[in-house]
């Protein structure tokens, strides 16, 4: 079920924890505590989000940095481009659901040469509580049907 969404840049700013996913990078067990940090920014004169992915691996915090170019007026579709050596990589993603309070969301990203298509459920709170987790599970069912996501908590 496709929702009509319209957001602003400020709705993304801050840290988001990945709580549910089907993305292999987070499911293989080598990397833990994935989170996205979004900041307002511009690149090549275009407005978007400075995007930092942080996770733990072998006792150290690792980062993947990039920039999300906005692809629509509703601020729901983006093209991620990496920084430095990763600048040749790109990934399109979109917001498919966001909670009324703007504290958790479901994002879907397209397949690339290096990654499969996938879904993450992200939340501003790493431990949101049972009621919010139940809302997330219902939204996953409503938005994705029978698609299976794993809980990272």
Task: For residue 126, give the 3-state DSSP assignment.
Answer: coil
Q: Which class does domain 10-151 fall in?
A: mainly beta
How confident is residue 88, by pLDDT bands cut at 50, 70 and 90? confident
pLDDT of residue 35: 98
Annotated domain spans of the chain: 10-151
Q: For 86, phi and psi rounded to 5 degrees?
A: -85, 5
DSSP per position, 81-105? EESGGGGG-EEEEEEEEE-TTSSEE
Structure-token pair, residue 49? 């989000």
pLDDT of residue 89: 85
Q: What value does the mean pLDDT of the chain take?
A: 95
pLDDT tens-place string over residues 50-79? 999 999 999 999 999 999 999 999 999 999
Identify which of 34, 42, 43, 36 has the alpha carbon closest to the alpha carbon of residue 12: 36
User: What one-character DSSP code corresponds to residue 43?
Assistant: E
CA-angle at 107, arms to 29 and 128, nearest 5°: 70
Q: Report the pLDDT value the prediction gives residue 2, as an integer from 0 to 100.
A: 58
Identify the pLDDT of residue 127.
Answer: 96
User: Does residue 1 register a pLDDT over 60?
Assistant: no
pLDDT value at position 153? 80
């Amino acid at each position: 079920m496709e929702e009509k969404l319209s957001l602003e840049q400020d709705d993304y700013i801050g840290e988001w924890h990945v709580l549910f996913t089907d993305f292999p990078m987070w499911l293989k067990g080598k990397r833990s505590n994935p989170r996205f940090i979004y900041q307002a920014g511009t690149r090549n004169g275009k407005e978007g989000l400075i995007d930092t992915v942080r996770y733990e691996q072998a006792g150290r915090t690792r980062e993947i940095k990039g920039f999300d170019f906005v692809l629509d007026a509703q601020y729901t579709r983006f093209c991620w481009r990496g920084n430095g050596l990763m600048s040749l990589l790109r990934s399109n993603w979109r917001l498919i659901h966001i909670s009324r309070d703007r504290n958790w969301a479901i994002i879907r990203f397209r397949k690339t040469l290096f990654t499969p298509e996938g879904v993450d459920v992200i939340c501003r709170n790493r431990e949101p509580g049972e009621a919010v987790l139940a809302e997330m599970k219902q939204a996953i069912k409503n938005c994705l049907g029978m698609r299976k996501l794993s809980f990272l908590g």
